[in-house]
Structure 1
Amino acid sequence: MRLFWRPATAFALAFLCASLGTARAQQQPENIPWENSMAIAQKMAIGLLERQTGSKGLPLASFAIDVDLNLDGLPEIFAYRYAPGCDGVNCGNFLFVLEGDSYQEVLGDIPGARLVPQDKIALSPFKRNGFFDIQSDTMTIGWGGKRYVDASTLPASTLDGTAFVAACQKNKLSEQPSQGETEQVSAACQCQFNRFQKVGFTQADLDAYAASLMGEDFDYPIGDKEDAWLALSKSAQDVATGCEVASGKSQWPPAYFDHGDRPQQKLNFGAFLDACPAQDFIMTNHKIGSPDRALALCGCVAREIPTYGPT
């Protein structure tokens, strides 16, 4: 399966490498930063999986990694819980997303998602509602606002793209573009228009965004309509970036977390991740305020400790 951009490659390879088994892993050179990061994710996953499944601990051949699917700086946790003859209920693939004050498991309602092999999971170059689409075997799953769902079930639209494509091309092209540049711009604008339909843009939204590309004569919404316009603009920019990534012209910021580029020692994070979320100064912070958000913050802090120390 094609892996669309380098962070996605890391995302999928982590699944694959972790599922190779302990014996084979011992034959590979140590990558201590990755091992530290995965140890943090596994510790976080143990409690989340226990809450989700009622089963304690992680059986051998289970693993977890952290990934940032909405680029907000806080980790989502992908976990694979091994069980012989897994039925896809309390074992298999799990994805925990920090939604509001708590981690929510977001794969459970998608038929077959628990049992998809890890080497058939990859990130799409496109975002939807702020989260990356995920290719899960032959199914594309997208963020529906509260959880991941089969993207084919999400609203789409049929639009007239004449005004948008013209505005897009004019916005991108210089006065005397080369033939090759014209073709590239045409493809990029068509990609954006196609994606706007897939994510359910309305005709009014598309026409307003097209008008904004023309610049001087567009009256940007203010007051009560400003927030809606900002959300529309962000969604449109995500579409444009996705098309650039898909064409190889750009990259998203990494969807995986930095494992550090300094020498590290392999650490045990269990005691730290038990104690850190319970600290009063963390729990009472107005931006935290819940055990799961505290866990997410402490996971970020733990990831820094092997490189920068505890201070």
Structure 2
Amino acid sequence: MKLFSTRAMAFALALLCASIASAWAQQQNIPQENSDAIARALAGPLLQRQTGAAVSADKFWAYEVDFNLDGFSELYVYVSDPVCDGVKCGLFLFVLEGDSYREVLGDIPGARLTPPDRVGLGAFKRNSFIDLQLDQKLFGWTGDRYADVSTFPATSLDGAGFIAACQKSRSNEQPEEGEAERVAGECQCQFNRFQAIGFTQADLDQYVASLGEKFDYPTGDKEKAWQAIATSASDTATGCDIIGGKSQWQPAYFNHGDQTQEKLDFSDFIAACPAQDFILGNRKVGSLDRAFGLCGCLAREMPTQGVKQEGLDLLTQYYRDEISDSDVDAGNADLLAEHDKASDACLSQFPAK
């Protein structure tokens, strides 16, 4: 069975390889360079909190990634040290969960010491996050951290009804040569995965019913449980398509818009932004870490609205309460509107508490 998609392998060999990170970054377009600069600005304070000491800028690299594909970035970081102790250096993954950023690799023995070129992405998602390959072991998301997939409970199911319904739903009225074998393999792949992620027989039977022509979609108290089943089933189908070379996850892609961007310095803005009352006091924010994450998103979104360095510097002064709305308008009449569009985009995809 093929573990990685082509794109995931490219991600592992390029994005995650510290030894070529500098050269690789030079080949990227300006929106990507801006994204990397934001990731570094966010990662620095988080690393200091995690390790208890400031990490020199020349000792680490960082990227925005989206392992749960919700549109809001996690931070993937590598701190280099030739004599790494596996605690204050190596691999880090920061995820905004609830009110705080948490580092989610530290609980896995030896994870920090995994060579960056031995890190990759699995074909499947579990509990919304893409599986993560660290050297020879595969890890899945428990709901709040990554854990060895061998520790997850599995089930043994009667799959006859599912296999029949799946093959019927995926077959064309005029099948091409070899299609029956392909569809059978895809359906068997899905069934195997349902057992691996702990589907119950009731879950599977309900999903089978949804593949029929008549299905009453649950409402009220049962709707949330059904949505979880449907999402897992959809993720499972995508994972099997990835194994078959028909699809791919895109965990490192963010929409940078169609505006021409210039390389920006975001450090002052990101330092000023979290303390601003209208950021911290927003009903979706409410904590410094959440404000910090939202400010990183704002920094990335504003260039997609056409904000240049002069505008970003004006907004930094505005966030420091050094200038007023009218001062901003006098300097750039479109700037606050561009800022508000970026803010709306970030808040629309901001993780729930």
TM-score, normalised to structure 2's length?
0.80
Counterpart for residue 62 of structure 1: 60
- C-alpha distance 184-21 of structure 1, shift in aligned 2 (>3 A): closer
1:114-153 correspondence runs (5 A): 114-153=112-151
* Secondary structure in structure 1 of the residue aligned to 2:125: strand
Q: How far does the alpha carbon of each residue in 1:164-201 deviate from its partner, in whole angstroms, 9 at most, with x for none?
A: 11111111223442342111111110110111111111
Cα drift, residue 287 of structure 1: 1.3
Any stretches of 5+ residues in structure 1 without a counterpart? none
Q: How far does the alpha carbon of each residue in 1:36-63 deviate from its partner, in whole angstroms, 9 at most, with x for none?
A: 2111101101111111110113352411
The one-letter code of the counterpart of 2:166 is C
Counterpart for residue 192 of structure 2: 194
* Secondary structure in structure 1 of the residue aligned to 2:16: helix
* Secondary structure in structure 1 of the residue aligned to 2:158: coil
CA distance in 1, matches of 2:81, 2:51: 12
The one-letter code of the counterpart of 1:101 is D
Cα drift, residue 132 of structure 1: 0.5
The one-letter code of the counterpart of 2:247 is S
- The sequence identity of aligned pairs, in percent, is 57
1:267 pairs, out of 260, 264, 267, with 264
Computing the radius of gyration from Cα coordinates, the structure with the larger value is 2
* Secondary structure in structure 2 of the residue aligned to 1:19: helix
CA distance in 2, matches of 1:231, 1:12: 33
- C-alpha distance 206-29 of structure 1, shift in aligned 2 (>3 A): closer
Cα drift, residue 7 of structure 1: 6.1
Any stretches of 5+ residues in structure 2 without a counterpart? 312-334, 336-353
Cα drift, residue 2 of structure 1: 7.0
Structure 1 contact 21–61 (Cα < 8 Å) conserved: no
Cα drift, residue 265 of structure 1: 2.8
2:242 pairs, out of 236, 240, 245, with 245
Structure 2 contact 125–235 (Cα < 8 Å) conserved: yes
Counterpart for residue 346 of structure 2: none
TM-score, normalised to structure 1's length?
0.90
1:4-153 correspondence runs (5 A): 4-6=5-7, 9-10=10-11, 12-16=13-17, 18-20=18-20, 29=27, 31-58=29-56, 60-153=58-151
Residue 248 of structure 2 is aligned to residue 234 of structure 1: no
Cα drift, residue 247 of structure 1: 1.3
- C-alpha distance 260-219 of structure 1, shift in aligned 2 (>3 A): closer
Instruction: Provide the aligned length of Structure 1 versus Structure 2.
Output: 307
